[in-house]
Every structure is written in C-alpha cells, then in structure tokens.
Chains A and B, each alone.
Chain A
C-alpha cells in the first residue's frame, strides 16, 4: 500500500524565494495535516483539512504561509517569501477520520539560505 507521499524530500533555496511543498495523502483518507518539526519547538501542527476544507489554520505562523487542498489526493504548503527561520522538516499526514491515528509521510527537509 502506498503511504503518504511528500515531495520534494529535500529543498535548498535562497531567502526570498517561493517554496512549494507537496503531499499526496493515502487514498480514501479524508483528513490531511501539515506539521513542522524544529529542534526548538518539536512537532507543531500548522493546518489541517477535512474533506478538502481547511478546518484549523491557527498553527500557521504568519501570512507568508498558505496551504491548499484542491482535491482529495493533493495538497500544497507554500511559503512566500521564504526566510532562514523557516528551515525545518515539514511533514504531511493523513487519516480516514479526524479522530483516527494519522499516517505520516517521510517529510521534506527545507533549508533556506
């Protein structure tokens, strides 16, 4: 079974550039979550969708961050413009219900120079 697929696995870019992270959830899952992991703050929930609708984006750090889920099989997390403090590992997870265990992708390691 294909798990949650994230791309790219690694991204290195210069400050000020637009960054787009992509996620394909597990087929049939109707909830999708974006997390960020840093040494200082650990794993933090940024935003989650239920049936493609954003439900809670209170974890999105600022307006430079945006997320979309145009259909049940695809989501993006965009940072524009990027800053060095955005460097982190970004995880996408999905589940077949809001209260069901989440399945994580392998993450995107983002480095902003």
Chain B
C-alpha cells in the first residue's frame, strides 16, 4: 500500500512557465515533507522541505505548499528552466521517537522543461 503517491509519472512545461508537481499521502502521522530532485545516474538531491506546522515554504524559484486536511502537497517552480528537467520525488517522514525514523518516497514525476 503506497503511503506517498505521485499520480503523474511525467509532466512537460514550457521554459519560463510554472511547473506544478503534486503529491498525496495517506498516513496522517507524517509530520515532515521533502522534495528531492534526481538526474539520471545520480542520487537524489534535497530540494526543499516543509513541516506540518506550516502550509508554505519558499526558497528562490521553488515553493512547497501543504494542505493537511487534504493530505496533499505541491511543488511550484517559477519560472521553469531547462536545467530543472529531472525526476522529482516527494517524501514524507514520521518521527516516532525512540530513535525511529522513516522516509517514505513517492515513485517520482519526470519533469521536462521545453526550451
């Protein structure tokens, strides 16, 4: 049973426009959410995160929005650049204390930014 879902396997956007990547989760215990970017033959790279006590976090061209009631988060990239073309993974964590830590990933969305 997938606890973190990225329902769009791919997305194409024109350079300069907004890219919106979506992620849904089912586990209400998740309290911290992250986005990673991955280029081919490389490991995922941390992009941006958000705690469950916030509903928005912004870092330059990247903004993550969290809607706890809908168990939904999204990553906005504005403006999109060709170098943003990569696979984007949504991830969620649940810190349960006693040293227990889990990072659950979605299956990723491949973003293609067209020049």
Contacts and interface: CB of A to CB of B under 8 A. Distances in A.
Given A91-B44, A106-B41, A106-B42, A55 B99 contact: yes
B102 A42 contact: no
Contacts of A12: none
Interface residues of B, number: 23
Contacts of A25: none
A98 B14 CA distance: 38
Nearest to B32: A99
Given A104-B45, A105-B43, A99 B100 contact: no
A80 B103 CA distance: 26
23 contacts: A4-B43, A31-B101, A42-B105, A42-B106, A42-B107, A43-B44, A43-B89, A43-B105, A45-B102, A45-B103, A48-B101, A55-B100, A55-B101, A56-B99, A56-B100, A56-B101, A98-B99, A101-B46, A103-B46, A104-B43, A104-B44, A106-B43, A107-B42
